[in-house]
């Protein structure tokens, strides 16, 4: 919400790329240097991630991917930014689309009185961050057991705000998310991306730098 003006350029870019890339499942990962990888690199450049991380000693990251697993919903995310868990500095954001409507969890309950209702099919335009969290418990499916992710140089736990078209600087949803360069779940090998109440997925073009 507080960073909307700073990340609008990156957001317009990643939304355009994100809407052209909607894999049918998180396991369908391209093995080439096609547009999603280029998109993540351009997002990182647009957000100034490498410069911020290098100049201030922060950790930088970039990614794109799709998450699902709960009874309803599939969400595509792309973007990146920089963070410092010690000072709780974070400057990150990117594109966001509900490929399929989310009818449980935080993305099903709007906190914006001017834009009520859940995130439905093809809604969503961007996300940004409210805080970097030390850790969180998470589930990849509604029936899975709780696991824990901890923020480090290669994993970031975020409190994120999610916006739909027309929201301006007033987000519709707020939810936790995890991005990592490695597996985050012992029960679901290969997943390194999570959104609260939606599920897990395999993020591509993941890059962490210090």
3-state secondary structure of 36: helix
- Could you give the residue ranges of the DSSP H alpha helices within the chain? 4-18, 35-47, 49-56
Question: What distances in angstroms separate CA 106 from CA 35, 74, 149, 156, 172, one per listed residue?
Answer: 30, 14, 19, 19, 10
pTM of structure: 0.77
Alpha carbon distance 161, 148 (integer Å)? 21
From first to last of its 210 residues, what are the pLDDT tens digits of the chain? 444 433 433 433 333 333 333 333 333 333 333 333 333 334 444 444 444 444 467 899 999 999 999 999 999 999 999 999 889 899 999 999 999 999 999 999 999 999 999 999 999 999 999 999 999 999 999 999 999 999 999 999 999 999 999 999 999 999 999 999 999 999 999 999 999 999 999 999 999 998
**Of the candidates 87, 175, 83, 89, the residue with the CA atom closest to the CA atom of residue 127:** 175
């Amino acid at each position: 919400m507080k960073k909307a003006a700073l990340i609008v350029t990156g957001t317009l870019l990643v939304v355009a790329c994100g809407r052209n890339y909607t894999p049918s499942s998180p396991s369908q990962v391209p093995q080439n240097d096609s547009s999603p990888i280029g998109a993540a690199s351009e997002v990182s450049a647009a957000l100034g991630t490498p410069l911020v991380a290098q100049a201030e000693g922060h950790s930088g990251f970039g990614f794109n991917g799709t998450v699902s697993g709960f009874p309803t919903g599939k969400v595509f995310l792309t973007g990146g930014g920089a963070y410092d868990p010690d000072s709780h500095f974070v400057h990150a954001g990117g594109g966001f689309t509900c490929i399929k409507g989310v009818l449980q969890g935080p993305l099903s309950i709007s906190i914006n009185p001017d834009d009520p209702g859940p995130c439905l099919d093809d809604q969503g335009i961007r996300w940004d961050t409210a805080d970097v969290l030390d850790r969180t418990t998470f589930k990849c499916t509604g029936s899975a057991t709780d696991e824990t992710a901890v923020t480090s140089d290669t994993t970031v736990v975020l409190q994120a705000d999610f916006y739909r078209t027309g929201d301006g600087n007033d987000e519709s949803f707020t939810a936790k998310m995890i991005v990592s360069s490695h597996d985050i779940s012992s029960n679901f090998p290969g997943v390194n991306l999570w959104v609260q109440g939606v599920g897990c997925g395999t993020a591509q073009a993941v890059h962490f730098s210090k």
